[in-house]
Chain A
């Protein structure tokens, strides 16, 4: 099994550009999440989804959008990139079970200059 796959691994954007971070999982997980990780700040939840067609805001949703048209895919969209969005982004998924742990992708390192 591939698990959770994120693309790209690295990206450099100019201020104001747009891009989509891709995330796909092949474990038939209902729940999917996007986190960003900044030094000394832990991981902050951006958006999450409990199933296809259902998304909800996390702790830091401003500047981002998501969609969940299928169970497998959960892309994260940055419309107008800003330097504050320089971070490492992690996608994760889990079963629809209260005690189900997260399965993480390998991360996308994004730099906005």
Chain B
């Protein structure tokens, strides 16, 4: 089955330390992958997307993600966490062929940033 799994429901880091949020996917087709962020009581904002042009994708606010086909992973990283990064993060995969619009969300990872 085609799916997306976020390996950690909760990640806690100290301000200034690196962030790693893990995402694995399963897809029969070349995947289209995204990361979204949701701050408390806010809507969802696109952080970055994988378009097959490059395996290392840079997004907003210093985040980046690396597509690894051999590992079916699309982990999100940031070199140095800020307090403002505390939020819920979602990995999203497009399921099916290029003609389908079905986008499936992972369960989400809550990022806590400690001072």
The answer to whether B107 and A99 touch across the interface, beta carbons within 8 angstroms, is: no
Proximity string of chain A (31-68) to chain B, C-beta cutoff 8 Å, 1 when within and 0 when not: 10101000011111100111000001011000000000
CA of A50 to CA of B6, assembled, Å: 27
Partner of A45, one of B51, B52, B90, B102: B102
CA of A102 to CA of B45, assembled, Å: 9
- Nearest CB in chain A: distance from B3 CB, A: 10
Partner of B32, one of A30, A49, A99: A99
A90 within 8 Å of B by Cβ? yes
CA of A105 to CA of B45, assembled, Å: 10
A106 within 8 Å of B by Cβ? yes
Size category, A interface: 20 to 34
B63 within 8 Å of A by Cβ? no
CA of A61 to CA of B91, assembled, Å: 22
B7 within 8 Å of A by Cβ? no
Partner of A104, one of B43, B50, B52: B43
The answer to whether B105 and A42 touch across the interface, beta carbons within 8 angstroms, is: yes
The answer to whether A105 and B43 touch across the interface, beta carbons within 8 angstroms, is: yes
Assess A107 versus B43: contact at CB under 8 Å? Given A42-B90, A99-B49.
yes
Proximity string of chain A (90-102) to chain B, C-beta cutoff 8 Å, 1 when within and 0 when not: 1000101011011
The answer to whether B108 and A42 touch across the interface, beta carbons within 8 angstroms, is: yes
The answer to whether B102 and A58 touch across the interface, beta carbons within 8 angstroms, is: yes
Chain A residues near B94 (CB, 8 Å)? Answer: 98
Write the chain B residue with the least CB distance to A54: B101
- Chain B positions 29-73 with a Cβ under 8 Å from a chain A Cβ: 32, 34, 36, 43-44, 46, 49-52
B98 within 8 Å of A by Cβ? yes
B9 within 8 Å of A by Cβ? yes
CA of A90 to CA of B50, assembled, Å: 23
Closest 5 CB pairs of A and B: A31-B101, A43-B105, A42-B107, A99-B51, A42-B108
Query: Could you name 17 residue pairs across A and B whose Cβ atoms are closer than 8 Å?
Result: A30-B101, A40-B9, A42-B106, A42-B107, A43-B90, A43-B105, A49-B101, A50-B101, A90-B44, A99-B49, A99-B51, A101-B49, A102-B34, A102-B36, A102-B44, A104-B44, A105-B43
